[in-house]
């Protein structure tokens, strides 16, 4: 009976489980526990924002708790080796905080869940080995000195990190080293081989949902922007069927052509990449304008950059993907409706282009 489950009971049962476990010793054990935790973290959802009857997130939280307990027990067992304890300390703290958040979510205590979840994300970040690459640089002293009332020029170079990226021009695909400014999520590059300009959006993975469909996969990425300017949601449908291993806090780069078409997602933490071969990803708009139309590009950019940033917009996108294909089929069979849809979308496009959003 979990309606009144408290974090202490969860911790106690993880400790008991750990005391009966023998996981072995050494670096390999630490790496195994770290990988298990990392894979688990990506599947832990944010606590719901408001209370609903029959909220599915409560069931999800309940279903995840035994897995968190298992990994936590393994981490505690591995940490009995004094040589390994320091390496696992932060991971144990993150697992404990996630366990606490899930216990609260499962019992419908949403405010407590939210607090624990935020702390868990901080601890997760602290436990992640690639943190140094993207953590905010130490704050420089103010350029304007209030005491002396003088301004000074800050001669230090902007913080940079070097990463391997691939040219998103599909006729080139050359891999090269690029230096990016870690205080900006968007960086513009030019491929030294084919001279194509491209845009990279850098973020740390916060959550990844993959919906497997009959002939494609739909990816929902939630990322915290590098530079600490907030988070955003990037969604697309992918037809090639490839795997894209990613764990929470991995550093990702989304590479766009100059026309703002997403071409590649690069996981800079494990050096894996995924070429995006779109599977009719903009149903209604695709029907009205055809693939590659400028209206489609503007609409997609609007979807990714504007709608994806608000809760209402994300709701719209979800509804759009759920009902989009059937609406599109219906529209395709009716030329009059088709031209009507096209008219509306063109108005939207004009507004977007004029307001500078697209």
Residue 198, strand partner residues: 189, 257
Q: Which of 250, 258, 259, 253 is nearest to 273 (CA)?
A: 253
Q: Which of 164, 174, 175, 192 is nearest to 253 (CA)?
A: 164
If the CB atoms of residues 264 and 285 are measured against Zn ion, the closer one turns out to be 264
145-179: b or e for each residue (b if 16 or more CB lie within 10 Å)?
eeeeeeeeeeeeeebebebebbbbbeeebeeeebe
Q: Minimum CB separation from Zn ion for residue 193, in Å? A: 5
- Please state, in angstroms and rounded to a whole number, the distance separating the CA atoms of residues 39 and 270: 13
Q: Which of 249, 267, 254 is nearest to 205 (CA)?
A: 249
- Please state, in angstroms and rounded to a whole number, the distance separating the CA atoms of residues 117 and 45: 9
Residue 150, strand partner residues: 145
- Please state, in angstroms and rounded to a whole number, the distance separating the CA atoms of residues 112 and 103: 10
If the CB atoms of residues 260 and 314 are measured against Zn ion, the closer one turns out to be 260
- Candidates 102, 167, 255, 298; binder of Zn ion (CB under 5 A) is 167
If the CB atoms of residues 12 and 170 are measured against Zn ion, the closer one turns out to be 170
The answer to whether residues 254 and 200 touch, using CB atoms and an 8 Å cutoff, is yes
Residue 169 engages Zn ion in binding (rule: CB under 5 A):
yes
Residue 200 engages Zn ion in binding (rule: CB under 5 A):
no
Task: Point out which span in 56-64, 187-195, 206-214, 344-352 binds Zn ion (CB under 5 A).
Answer: 187-195
Size of the site for Zn ion (CB under 5 A): 7
The answer to whether residues 226 and 185 touch, using CB atoms and an 8 Å cutoff, is yes
Residue 72 engages Zn ion in binding (rule: CB under 5 A):
no
If the CB atoms of residues 258 and 350 are measured against Zn ion, the closer one turns out to be 258
Q: Minimum CB separation from Zn ion for residue 254, in Å? A: 17
Residue 190 engages Zn ion in binding (rule: CB under 5 A):
no
Q: Minimum CB separation from Zn ion for residue 282, in Å? A: 26
Task: Point out which span in 10-18, 64-72, 190-198, 230-238 binds Zn ion (CB under 5 A).
Answer: 190-198
- What angle do helix axes 7-19 and 56-78 make, rounded to 10 degrees? 40
Q: Minimum CB separation from Zn ion for residue 244, in Å? A: 22
Q: Which of 271, 297, 268 is nearest to 285 (CA)?
A: 297
Contact map string, positions 1 to 40, toward Zn ion, x by CB under 5 A: ----------------------------------------
If the CB atoms of residues 194 and 344 are measured against Zn ion, the closer one turns out to be 194
Interaction residues for Zn ion, span 239-278 (CB under 5 A): none
CA-derived radius of gyration, the chain: 23
Residue 127 engages Zn ion in binding (rule: CB under 5 A):
no
If the CB atoms of residues 158 and 194 are measured against Zn ion, the closer one turns out to be 194
If the CB atoms of residues 122 and 258 are measured against Zn ion, the closer one turns out to be 258
Residue 172 engages Zn ion in binding (rule: CB under 5 A):
yes
If the CB atoms of residues 276 and 331 are measured against Zn ion, the closer one turns out to be 276
Residue 175 engages Zn ion in binding (rule: CB under 5 A):
no
Task: Point out which span in 21-29, 191-199, 233-241, 286-294 binds Zn ion (CB under 5 A).
Answer: 191-199
Q: Minimum CB separation from Zn ion for residue 175, in Å? A: 10
Residue 191 engages Zn ion in binding (rule: CB under 5 A):
yes
If the CB atoms of residues 72 and 262 are measured against Zn ion, the closer one turns out to be 262
In this structure, is the dihedral angle defined by the CA atoms of residues 246, 168, 179 and 192, taken in order, positive or negative? positive
**DSSP for residue 195:** -
Residue 194 engages Zn ion in binding (rule: CB under 5 A):
yes
Residue 193 engages Zn ion in binding (rule: CB under 5 A):
yes
The answer to whether residues 99 and 37 touch, using CB atoms and an 8 Å cutoff, is no
Q: Which stretches of the chain are assigned E, i.e. beta strand?
A: 144-145, 150-151, 160-166, 175-181, 186-190, 197-212, 217-225, 231-238, 251-257, 262-267, 272-275
If the CB atoms of residues 174 and 323 are measured against Zn ion, the closer one turns out to be 174
**DSSP for residue 200:** E
The answer to whether residues 266 and 305 touch, using CB atoms and an 8 Å cutoff, is no
Q: What residue ranges bind Zn ion (CB under 5 A)?
A: 167, 169, 172, 174, 191, 193-194
């Amino acid at each position: 009976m979990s309606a009144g489950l408290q974090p202490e009971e969860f911790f106690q049962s993880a400790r008991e489980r750990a005391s009966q476990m023998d996981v072995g010793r050494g670096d390999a054990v630490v790496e195994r526990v770290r990988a298990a935790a990392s894979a688990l973290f990506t599947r832990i959802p944010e606590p719901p924002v408001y209370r609903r009857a029959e909220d599915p997130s409560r069931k999800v939280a309940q279903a995840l708790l035994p897995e968190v307990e298992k990994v936590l027990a393994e981490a505690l067992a591995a940490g009995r080796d004094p040589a390994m304890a320091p390496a696992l300390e932060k991971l144990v703290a993150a697992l404990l905080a996630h366990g606490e958040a899930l216990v609260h979510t499962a019992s419908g205590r949403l405010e407590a869940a939210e607090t624990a979840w935020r702390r868990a994300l901080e601890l997760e970040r602290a436990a992640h080995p690639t943190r140094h690459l993207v953590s905010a640089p130490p704050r420089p002293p103010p350029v304007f000195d209030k005491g002396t009332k003088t301004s000074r020029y800050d001669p230090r170079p902007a913080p940079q990190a070097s990463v391997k990226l691939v040219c998103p021009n599909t006729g080139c695909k050359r891999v090269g080293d690029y230096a990016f400014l870690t205080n900006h999520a968007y960086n513009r590059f030019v491929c030294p081989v084919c001279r194509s300009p491209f845009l990279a959006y850098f973020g740390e993975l916060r959550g990844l949902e993959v919906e497997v469909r009959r002939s494609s996969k739909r990816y929902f990425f939630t990322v915290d922007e590098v530079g600490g300017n907030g988070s955003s949601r990037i969604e697309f449908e992918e037809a090639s069927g490839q795997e894209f291993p990613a764990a929470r806090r991995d550093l990702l780069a989304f590479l766009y052509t100059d026309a703002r078409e997403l071409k590649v997602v690069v996981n800079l933490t494990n050096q894996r990449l995924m070429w995006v071969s779109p599977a009719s990803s903009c149903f209604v708009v695709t029907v009205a304008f055809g693939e590659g139309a400028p209206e489609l590009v503007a609409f997609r950019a609007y979807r990714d950059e504007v709608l994806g940033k608000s809760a209402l917009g994300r709701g719209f996108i979800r509804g759009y993907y759920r009902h989009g294909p059937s609406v599109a089929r219906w529209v395709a069979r009716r030329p009059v409706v088709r031209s009507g849809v096209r008219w509306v979308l063109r108005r939207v496009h004009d507004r977007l282009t004029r307001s500078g959003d697209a």
